[in-house]
Amino acid sequence: MGYEIKELSDGFWKIRDSRGDTAYLIEGERQALLVDTAMDNEPIRPLVSGLTDKPVVLALTHAHIDHMYRCDEFDQVYIHEMDITDWKNGLGRVMRLSYPLFKVKRKRFNADNFVPLHDDSEIDLGGFSVKCLRVSGHTRGSVLFIDSRHRVVLCGDAAGLAMWLFLPYCTDVSTYKQNLEKAEKELLPYENYSFYRGHSEPTGAPPEPLSRQTFTDMHVLCEKLLAGTADLQKIDQLRWLPLFYAKNASAGMVVRKGKIK
C-alpha cells in the first residue's frame, strides 16, 4: 500500500495509489486544491499537506468510492449538486455496498460536509481559478476541472478507454452523448491542454496526457452504439450482470444493454 507521487509541473502533482486510482494536487497562491482522494488505506491529507504549505481544499470529480474514499479527512468537500442529490437519494447506499468489491474498510460520509458545485462554478486558489465543467454520464454530476495556470484538464471518469456506463445513477447513452456534444464545444479553448484521467488505464491505452480528441472519440462511439453499429464484446467483469465492451479509437465503454437508448 501507499502512494506514488509525481510533480508534473511546478505546483501540480499527480498522486497514484496502489490500486491505480489517481488524485491531483494544484497549488495556488492562497490555497491548494486536491482533486479526488484515490482509495488507499493510508490517509492522504498528511501527504498533501507535506507537498504544499498552503491550506488544502478538496473537490471531487464525482461521488464514487474510488474517488472519494478519504474525503472524511476534510471538513468540506466540493461536489456537483447533482451528485449530492443522488447521494442523498440512494447513491450513497449503493456506494456502501461496493466496499466488499474493493476490499476496503467500511465508512460513512457526512453529506452535510458536501458543498455544491454548479455548472459554472470556479474555485479561486489565489492568482487563478479552477473551472468546473459538468459532463453527465458516468454519474449525473461528473465534472472536469480545468486549470489554466498549469494548462491541464482533470477528467476523472468522464471519458477514457474503460468508461463505465452501467452503474446505478449513471445516465443512458443518449444523455451522455448530448453532454459530450456540449463538452466538445466548451473544451475548444483548451485544445492544447493536457488531459488526465482518474485511473491507470488497461494495457494498450493511449499514454497520458490525453487530449480533447478522447471526448470526440467517445461521442462517435455513442453514435455507433445508438445506431447499432458498434462492435459489442460480452465481458465477465461482473458475473451477476451482463456487460459489454465497445471501443472507438481512444475511447471505450463498459455498458449494459439497458443503457443503450
C-alpha–C-alpha distance, residues 79 and 202, integer Å: 27
Q: CATH homologous superfamily for 3-259?
A: Ribonuclease Z/Hydroxyacylglutathione hydrolase-like (3.60.15.10)
pLDDT band at 204 (very low <50, low <70, confident <90, very high): low
Strand partners, 163: 253
Q: Are strands 114-117 and 77-80 parallel, antiparallel or unpaired?
A: parallel
All structural domains of the chain with their residue ranges: 3-259
pLDDT of residue 200: 77
Q: What is the pLDDT of residues 96-118, one digit of tens each?
A: 888 888 888 988 899 999 999 99
The backbone torsions φ and ψ at residue 88, rounded to the nearest 5 degrees and listed phi first, read -70, -25
What H or E segment, with its residue span, contains residue 131? Answer: strand 129-134
When pLDDT is averaged across residues 165-188 and rounded to a whole number, the result is: 97
pLDDT of residue 108: 86
Residue 213 in contact with residue 187, Cβ under 8 Å?
A: no
Q: What is the pLDDT of residues 129-175, one digit of tens each?
A: 999 999 999 999 999 999 999 999 999 999 999 999 999 999 999 99
- Mean pLDDT (the chain) is 94
Residue 39 in contact with residue 69, Cβ under 8 Å?
A: yes
What is the DSSP code string of 86-136? HIIIIIHHHHHTTHHHHT-------GGGEEEE-TT-EEE-SSSEEEEEE--
Q: What is the pLDDT of residues 37-76, one digit of tens each?
A: 999 999 999 999 999 999 999 999 999 999 999 999 999 9
Q: What percent of the chain shows pLDDT beyond 90?
A: 84
Q: Are strands 56-59 and 32-35 parallel, antiparallel or unpaired?
A: parallel
- Enter the C-alpha cell of residue 24: 491531483
- Enter the C-alpha cell of residue 211: 487530449
pLDDT of residue 207: 66
